[in-house]
Amino acid sequence: MKFLIAVLLFLSTNVFSQDTIRVNDRDLEGVGKYKSYKYVSATTGAKQKAKYKIGLWQYFDEFGTLQKAETYVTTGNTSYVDGDQIFYNAYEEPVLIRTYKHQKIENEKPLLPCVLILWKDTITIKQMGDSVYIYKPIPRDLTWLNYANIVKINTIEDPNAAYKLAMYQHFEDSIGNPNLLVNSPFSIHHPLNAVANPSFEDHPTLELSKTSFSDEITAWAPASVSPDFFITPTAAKEGVAFVGIRVYSPTKDIEYIENKLNYRLAKDQKYCFTAYVKLGPSCTIATDAFGVHFSANAISFADLNKTDIKPQLSLDKEFLTYKSKWMVLQCSYVANGTENWMTLGTFKPLQAIKKLPIYGYANESYYYVDNVSLIPIASDDECPCNFKGDRDVSISNTIINQEQDIEAEFINLEVGERIVLENIYFDNDKYELLPKSEQTLTKLHQLLLKYPALKIEISGHTSSIGGYEHNISLSKHRANVVVAYLVEKGIATSRLVSAGFGPDLPIAPNDTEANMQLNRRVELKILAK
């Protein structure tokens, strides 16, 4: 029993506190080149044909995120890894480099703290001061351990993960509205704050983060299924606790939370509503999907599906893009005197939600919420409203064809803007590049060589025809092969990000074949210049 307790303590301090990364070749999609060879079967004498890997190979997970890269060399009719084998985290940052020589590991260089779960061993990388080192593998004889439970810790995301991504911070600063970062003029501790338990700190029965909380947080309750509760002191706006809700997903539940106010709002009284929100680090989509609904009674998920449930406050033209910083949403509200409850979430139909594609790997928009307040005020001047943004982030597309000058188009683009790369060809329902794509890809390669600071995202898109999951997968594969082409030409992987959005971001209605053809495209987005 003492041994069991010791192992569990080891796991709690050395596994759960760090990013957990699982790299299993059987679950990854490999992108690279093969070489064919012919041989005669020693058993049957029949002529056979086989193939083996050569050169650089990259492996991507189901989200299109780079997980591993390695280079193969050949001896006779066999191939094997020689040189550096690099493992990556969910933000495509290298975490471990293994150097192979003569088919043996010659050196291991840890780069970032994590738990790396491979098919044949598990490696724990720890940080001490400014250095990182391999602690030791988890003993393989602990066969009773359920490694799936270790990996599952990522179902509640690490809110600190975004802080590690310097590239994203640069990106979000370039497209985010700094007006959203100005602190509220009111403290949540104001004696007249109508919001009960405004920073979610009162949770008598909870000691750990939890998915799908119900009545464990004082004065707060889900108005839908599965909002998440976090206890993370370094990430909370104040204290240690906050919640997370999904406001957009093509496949998952949309989530709401509601608060039993401290008191009924006074008729014709103005109140200043404030909430701090932050986009989840894995999200690939920022949205304008945030609203506030005041009501006399608690509302249910069934009520929220009714068209007559409208928010009194709702975002307009403002994308909530920041992952590393808490954004402030603030606006005044005049009460009708019946309000006892407040509900937070999106009240827009999914098709009406504006979406801005950004860095990430999860096809959704998910926001952390903390420090909510509703303070009586005498004038709107006390509560400057930023719900209606004065900055409309452009997500329009510039079309490039063979006759256009890619460099000329690039010069006029700002960080965050996108280009449709025409003449990138694939066979129907395939993701192998066709030779006639070479001209456009050569121009893109030359552009990247000329501007070494340029970092881009390559994204694949499809029409709405076909199964959704299949289209998502197809679009990711198409983006990955374009990235692999550029890497093979010598472009560093740190300058390239791939993404696949399937049918989620059409640039034309899917009502005619011509329009659907426009939606079947590969895009380039400027991440840094």
Q: Which carries the bigger pLDDT value, residue 242 or residue 36?
A: 242
Best mean pLDDT range from 83-92, 145-154, 251-260, 504-513 = 251-260
What's the gap between Cα 108 and its chain centre?
29
Alpha helical stretches, state H, 265-360 = 301-304
**Which tokens belong to 194?**
């109508």
Of the pLDDT bands very low, low, confident and very high (cuts 50, 70, 90), residue 61 is: confident
Of the pLDDT bands very low, low, confident and very high (cuts 50, 70, 90), residue 168 is: low
| Residue pair 321/279 in contact by the 8 Å Cβ criterion | yes
Q: Residue count of the chain, please give it.
A: 529
Q: What is the pLDDT of residue 409?
A: 62
Q: How far apart, in whole angstroms, are the C-alpha atoms of residue 502 and residue 15?
A: 34
| 145 pLDDT above the threshold of 60 | no
In the chain, the percentage of residues whose pLDDT exceeds 90 is: 23
Best mean pLDDT range from 99-108, 132-141, 297-306, 425-434 = 99-108
Q: Nearest to residue 459, comparing CAs of 490, 436, 483?
A: 483
Could you give the C-alpha distances from 95 to 37, 169, 240, 259, in angstroms and in order? 35, 19, 28, 42
Q: Which domains does the chain have, with CATH numbers?
A: 2-155 (no CATH), 161-382 (2.60.120.260), 397-528 (3.30.1330.60)
Crossing angle of helices 468-488 and 438-450, in 10° steps, is 60
**Which tokens belong to 99?**
């150097």
Record the pTM: 0.50
Q: What is the pLDDT of residue 350?
A: 79
Mean pLDDT of 176-205: 92
| 333 pLDDT above the threshold of 70 | yes
Span 397-416, pLDDT tens digits:
333 333 445 666 666 677 77
Beta partners for residue 37, in sequence order: 50
Q: What is the pLDDT of residue 25?
A: 65
- State the DSSP H helix or E strand holding residue 517, giving kind and residue range, or none if neither: helix 513-519
Q: What is the pLDDT of residue 400?
A: 35
| Residue pair 195/373 in contact by the 8 Å Cβ criterion | yes
**Which tokens belong to 383?**
């509560």
Span 210-221, pLDDT tens digits:
878 888 999 999
